[in-house]
């Protein structure tokens, strides 16, 4: 449902209250409003085969309210609100959140109380409540708490970042939020209608999303030393964190096949094809298929892939104990893996052409990672010992945007260290080697090298179909397909694949941040 006016949104505020009586009062007001609108439209004559045109003002507004109620009946974490919404929808002839553990329930309630919605991203991340808690606290701080940037600037930057990867789901979410906090609707006509200060951010958005290693202190100087409409250092740090957050969140959104909420366009009518035959949010919500992928052909290769991967992990661990490669050999293996990663094809389909609704929010739609790799250029190497998040980036962010560095660090650590010591049906498995290979492979694609890591392990642990999925989701997420998602780790549970997507998202965000923060550091010194 699109936001038509701010008064409409305020009607629903009471449903996010933790006080049951306040929710009851708000629900009663909504019920009365719905019944007034239903009575105003009146019963349909028997000769009329279909409802009145949806474009009529009263009917259109009622449809919007009913769509919102339909969303609440399935997504609201408060049981009393869900039940009242279901009763009301049944009353007007239309036509839920499943039981979750106490911690996840509390996180869902907090998110709903803060935003008035429980979006599909949160539902999918609900597979991993420890991570979800960290993610939502960080995102809430970036978007709603005191900070260098005004609220409408924040949401517009989110729109710019999500549009860069043609992620209409996130774009539409923040278009609504932008309007709700008082943003000028004219800015939504295109980047050219936004203030010059935001327009100047377009180049940084483009490079950061696709080739962050090309960022230099000159890019930062253009923003910080503009004759007019210049950015302060604190504002720029806030903008960089938002851009990297939403570039990587677009990767997660496409990687999990997340679609529009049920009350939004495309959410309660015809749904466009997603990664799978179901929406991942339904699986997370207990309303989907089994957590295991079916293998109708009984493929023996598929049935043994987990055991093969576990055996390779065991052999690599034993090999580590036996001998250690020289620094020269380690450097050679990194360069080889970096070169090979550029040759991995990111998608089978034709080039994605963004719609006008999306492309108006950014410049130069042909600019991307794939064009870069095809040109035969090489990604330069950034050695972590020269510039790392832990030793350099963290302190810079925390100094200019207090508390955010700490929040980001906790989120990175949560994604990197998260484990249940399981692989498919196997328990008591140490997955640290596999998680490190995934994280370091992503950083390798961005030219980031860890001197103490043997990049020869990556080819042993990540097969080609998995590499294709990783590179597509990280570099060109809009091209991610159902086939890619289903072709890797076919015996693993959906929750494990979501875990992989969390790793990919956070590794990508940290890689982008490193290059942006390094450029800012060089400007400052």
Task: For residue 373, count CB atoms less than 10 angstroms from its CB and return exposed for 0-12, middle for 13-18, buried for 19 or more.
Answer: buried
How far is the C-alpha of 110 from the C-alpha of 105, rounded, in Å?
Answer: 9
What pLDDT score was predicted for residue 70? 81
What pLDDT score was predicted for residue 302? 57
What pLDDT score was predicted for residue 73? 84
Residues in CB range of 508: below 8 A, 6 or more apart: 247, 248, 251, 442, 446, 474
What pLDDT score was predicted for residue 334? 87
The answer to whether 444 is a known catalytic residue is no
| Active-site residue, selected from the candidate residues 167, 279, 444, 475 | 167
What pLDDT score was predicted for residue 497? 93
What pLDDT score was predicted for residue 98? 55
Paired tokens of 250: 């677009």
Instruction: Using alpha carbons, select from 222, 191, 192, 190 the residue that is nearest to residue 204.
Output: 222
> Can you give the residue ranges of every domain in the chain?
1-36+63-99, 101-269+304-347+357-524
Paired tokens of 287: 């309303």
What pLDDT score was predicted for residue 87? 83
Q: What angle do CA 83, 86, 92 make, to 5 degrees?
A: 145
How far is the C-alpha of 32 from the C-alpha of 10, rounded, in Å?
Answer: 16
CA dihedral 282, 287, 289, 290 (to 10 degrees): 110
Q: Is the dihedral of CA 287, 290, 295, 301 positive or negative?
A: positive
Q: What angle do CA 342, 412, 121 make, to 5 degrees?
A: 85
Residues in CB range of 357: below 8 A, 6 or more apart: 168, 171
The model's pLDDT over 106-126, given as tens digits with 9 standing for 90+, comes to: 998 888 888 777 888 998 899
Residues of the chain below pLDDT 70: 1-11, 39-60, 63, 92-99, 261-303, 321-323, 346-364, 370-376
For 306-341, give one letter per residue: b (16+ CB within 10 A) or e.
Answer: beebbeebeebeeeeeeeeeeeeebbebbeebbeeb
What pLDDT score was predicted for residue 145? 94
Give, in order, the Cα–Cα distances in Å from 212 to each of 183, 216, 256, 514: 29, 9, 24, 9
What pLDDT score was predicted for residue 382? 94
The model's pLDDT over 38-52, given as tens digits with 9 standing for 90+, comes to: 766 554 343 333 343
Q: Is the dihedral of CA 159, 162, 163, 166 positive or negative?
A: negative
């Amino acid at each position: 449902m699109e936001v038509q006016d701010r008064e409409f949104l305020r009607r629903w505020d009471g449903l996010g209250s933790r006080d049951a009586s306040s929710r009851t009062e708000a629900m009663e007001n909504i019920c009365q409003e719905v019944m007034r609108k239903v009575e105003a439209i009146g019963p349909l004559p028997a000769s009329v085969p279909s409802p009145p045109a949806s474009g009529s003002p009263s009917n259109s507004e009622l449809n919007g309210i009913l769509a919102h109620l339909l969303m609440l009946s399935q997504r609201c974490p408060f049981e009393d609100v869900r039940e009242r919404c279901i009763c009301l929808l049944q009353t007007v002839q239309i036509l839920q959140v499943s039981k979750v553990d106490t911690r996840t329930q509390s996180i869902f309630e907090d998110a709903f109380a803060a935003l008035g919605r429980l979006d599909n991203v949160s539902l999918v991340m609900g597979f991993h409540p420890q991570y979800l808690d960290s993610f939502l606290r960080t995102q809430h701080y970036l978007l709603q708490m005191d900070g260098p940037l005004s609220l409408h600037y924040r949401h517009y930057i989110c729109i710019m970042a999500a549009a860069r990867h043609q992620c209409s789901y996130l774009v539409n979410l923040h278009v609504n939020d932008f309007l709700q906090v008082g943003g000028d609707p004219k800015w939504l006509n295109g980047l050219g209608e936004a203030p010059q200060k935001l327009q100047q951010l377009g180049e940084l958005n483009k490079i950061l999303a696709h080739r962050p290693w090309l960022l230099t202190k000159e890019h930062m100087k253009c923003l910080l030393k503009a004759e007019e409409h210049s950015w302060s250092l604190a504002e720029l740090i806030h903008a960089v964190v938002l851009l990297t957050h939403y570039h990587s969140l677009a990767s997660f959104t496409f990687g999990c096949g997340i679609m529009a909420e049920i009350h939004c366009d495309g959410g309660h009518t015809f749904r466009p094809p997603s990664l799978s035959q179901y929406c991942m949010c339904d699986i997370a919500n207990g309303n989907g298929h089994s957590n295991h992928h079916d293998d109708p052909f009984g493929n023996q290769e598929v049935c043994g892939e987990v055991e093969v991967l576990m055996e390779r992990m065991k052999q690599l661990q034993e090999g580590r104990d036996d001998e250690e490669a020289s620094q020269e050999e380690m450097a050679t293996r990194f360069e080889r893996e970096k070169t090979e990663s550029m040759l991995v094809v990111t998608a089978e389909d034709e080039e994605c052409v963004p719609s006008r609704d999306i492309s108006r929010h950014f410049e130069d739609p042909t600019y991307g990672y794939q064009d870069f790799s095809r040109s035969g250029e090489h990604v330069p190497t950034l050695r972590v010992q020269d510039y790392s998040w832990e030793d350099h980036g963290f302190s810079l962010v925390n100094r200019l945007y207090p508390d955010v560095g700490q929040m980001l660090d906790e989120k990175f650590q949560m994604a990197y260290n998260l484990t249940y010591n399981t692989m498919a049906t196997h328990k008591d498995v140490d997955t640290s080697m596999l998680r490190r290979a995934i994280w370091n492979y992503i950083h390798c694609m961005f030219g980031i090298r860890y001197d103490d890591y043997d990049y020869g392990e990556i080819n042993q642990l990540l097969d080609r179909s998995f590499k294709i999925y990783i590179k597509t989701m990280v570099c060109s997420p809009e091209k991610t397909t159902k086939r890619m998602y289903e072709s890797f780790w076919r015996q693993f549970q959906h929750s494990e694949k979501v875990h992989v997507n969390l790793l990919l998202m956070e590794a990508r965000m940290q890689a982008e941040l490193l290059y942006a923060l390094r450029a800012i550091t060089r400007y400052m010194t």
